[in-house]
Chain A
């Protein structure tokens, strides 16, 4: 138990470095992109010299880069993410208000994709039937179809024609359906392929044979014994999944006019809103590292042999 606690403490300490690193990369990236950030932040309007100087001063761009970076780090370590230049609000507040809609969307999309993919995988793994070929083909189509197109198709069918769901749903459950489906469709293919692969490998294991020998039915074997093994690669994919969900949110939130972190981030990057971009980078990096720690912790629970491997 102490080994786990020590491991956790070390991982948490390291994750602080990762978060500071991510913030630094975001800070640095916005320094090297061309163009005067003050002009870009002012939205392309030609400001009067007084307004320009005032803005430049408020943003701290009249000070040398090391000084700015030092201040930035100092603020960050105090937990102050600064104020968004374009939204005129504290970054922490902006992210706080936009995080939940995105998490809602991501969870709904993930849940949907997981359930559908698991059903597909369980139904078709190890079976050389036409269903499997059909399922594989459908998965391939889903993986390769861009989200913005799927979103517009779904809108046309279910919102414009059938009028079952609103075009811009706000925070109602109705409004979450089409965005979540759009996000899920891109993931189902990957999930199903990964799980089917895992299932097929598990079905070849001796424990499946012994389960069958005990007289378990095929469905029970798949659901109770094999599926759990097939889920391990999914846990490994967690980091990728979070990234895909956040990236997908940018598109989905734009098409469905949802509030959320994805859209805010895209606008902030385009407008060079440095405090907001670094703020989002910090939050995203924190989520990623915490999730990775949780995943590694989960491995140790799922498969005690991993304790030896992951330190």
Chain B
């Protein structure tokens, strides 16, 4: 039987909105903190105020895109910018529910391999051409074309076979194998629909002059400085996940690239920009104390900042040593002292806002250095050398954590030092080595790492398959760095990625998370978050499920 998902009529919108807002606060961990505790409602998403159109917003962001072709560039900032320029077939609510957008409805074949999309009428790209099924085909074909050299979009379509243009209003996407995350992927800005005429241009033009059908049109991009977007006044095809129909409220958005933390935060406090991201945790107190500013945060979904332990190499091949490391780290204390409570400690390899997060892991592996010591004794690391580190047969218990110098952001180096100090308490010599990216990538591709530390922002538990399934080796474009071949994880994760049964997926992802902790294949450290500061003028600033900022419903209060 075909599963039919029908787009809701506009009339039912108001009701859905309320429920989804509640869901946002409850599930997505999005907390919009009213600042200064004053009686004005500036900090809250001001549901009662009536939006006013007009005004331009400047958003200072730490990162700058390399290329604006959504089919090519993998970086988060590119997604944030492109979300305004490109529309997708489907939209996602802040909790990850899939809603209609450029596709008004869709059906999935029983074998899960064919998706038939009915497309919205009357949509026009910024270049004036009309949106139809050929645009869907052109966009998806572009993403998987080796000549595009896609760094992310192509991977999202790893199961893609072809798109069939049935008629101008109907597109059928055929997959080689069922892919439960396909719709989720289609909704990301990376697979935002591009104008077919635009796609025939050179790679350079695709990178620098994006043409979509979104609520904002591209105006200019001055490298190292800013990128300017203007309102698309003809916009009448807002996603069902948005709060309003018609064009966006803002007349334009300027993305200003300010990489220096102090300068970026200063630009906000002095009123030169209205929104900044990556507020350093140490500045949050200042932000909260300022009545004319508001503080918003959203936990990022995906892989928490974690250490992936290499079970194929001595000494971490011994599960007791891995478990000892897992239990030796006093995370609660470490994370609080480094991030002043703005980042949470992690309990699972998945962050709490990831679809498929297993909450039951919380509180199950508290710090226990006595246990860690016992495990190491059992593993035979009983002797101690002059520096107090454990030894066995005259060899010191050393594990090496290598990292690329450019990956040390967000005070991660400080966290690393804390982990190192705790490891030393139980006699493990954990060496944290920061090297240039070239050397580091050499180590990665030679698979001679003991520990890899990092995070991945992804919407759902399928990131576990990327990191652990045996067919996701690093040379095949996957993230299974150590070439693991674990039958249990393979079964759980591959089944989760192909089943259409949500219950099975949830159960498998939960089991996989528990399996990873039980076998200490990873040491989850912190839950990353998007820490945003904004002027009190700014209303309707929303986080997507990805924890990226969305500006479609954003408006500026002219009275402030």
Contacts and interface: CB of A to CB of B under 8 A. Distances in A.
Report whether chain A binds chain B.
Answer: yes
Interface of A: 33-37, 39-40, 42-51, 53-55, 58, 83, 86-89, 94, 97-98, 152, 155-156, 159-161, 163, 166-168, 170, 253-260, 263-264, 270, 272
B258 A167 contact: yes
Contact of B445 (A39, A43, A166, A272): A39
A14 B273 CA distance: 51
Interface string B421-450: 000000000000000111111100100000
Interface string B254-273: 00111110111011011111
A218 B404 CA distance: 60
Contact of B266 (A49, A87, A156, A263): A156
Contact of A34 (B150, B155, B442): B442
Interface of B: 60, 66-67, 74-75, 146-147, 149-152, 154-155, 203-204, 207-208, 222-226, 256-260, 262-264, 266-267, 269-273, 404, 406-407, 436-442, 445, 474-479
Contacts of A42: 149, 151
A40 B441 contact: yes
Contacts of A159: 266-267, 270, 272
27 contacts: A35-B436, A35-B440, A35-B441, A35-B442, A37-B438, A39-B441, A40-B437, A40-B441, A43-B74, A43-B75, A44-B407, A44-B437, A46-B478, A49-B475, A51-B149, A54-B147, A86-B66, A152-B263, A159-B272, A167-B263, A167-B267, A168-B263, A168-B267, A254-B259, A257-B257, A259-B224, A270-B406
A255 B475 CA distance: 38
A33 B436 contact: yes
B74 A88 contact: no
A97 B225 contact: no
A256 to B, nearest CB: 7
10 tightest Cβ-Cβ pairs between the two chains A and B = A35-B438, A48-B477, A160-B266, A167-B267, A259-B224, A88-B207, A45-B151, A50-B146, A160-B270, A34-B439
A55 B150 CA distance: 10
B256 A45 contact: no
Q: Which of B259, B266, B407 has the most CB of A within 10 A?
A: B266
Contacts, number: 149
B458 to A, nearest CB: 13
Contact of B438 (A34, A256, A259): A34
B477 A263 contact: no
Nearest to B478: A46
Q: Which of A50, A58, A98 has the most CB of B within 10 A?
A: A50
Given A35-B441, A87-B223, A170-B226, A155 B477 contact: no
A51 B150 contact: yes
Nearest to A175: B225
Nearest to A162: B270
Given A87-B66, A170-B225, A48 B155 contact: yes
A43 B437 CA distance: 9
Contacts of B225: 168, 170, 257-259
A170 B225 CA distance: 7
B224 A46 contact: no
B223 A259 contact: yes
Contacts of A48: 154-155, 476-477
B74 A45 contact: yes
A92 to B, nearest CB: 13
A94 B208 CA distance: 13
B66 A43 contact: yes
B438 A272 contact: yes
Contacts of A33: 436, 438
B260 A255 contact: yes
B441 A44 contact: yes
B445 A36 contact: yes
A33 B67 CA distance: 26
A167 B272 contact: yes
Contacts of A170: 222, 225-226
B266 A51 contact: no
Given A40-B441, A257-B258, A88 B208 contact: yes
A40 B152 CA distance: 16
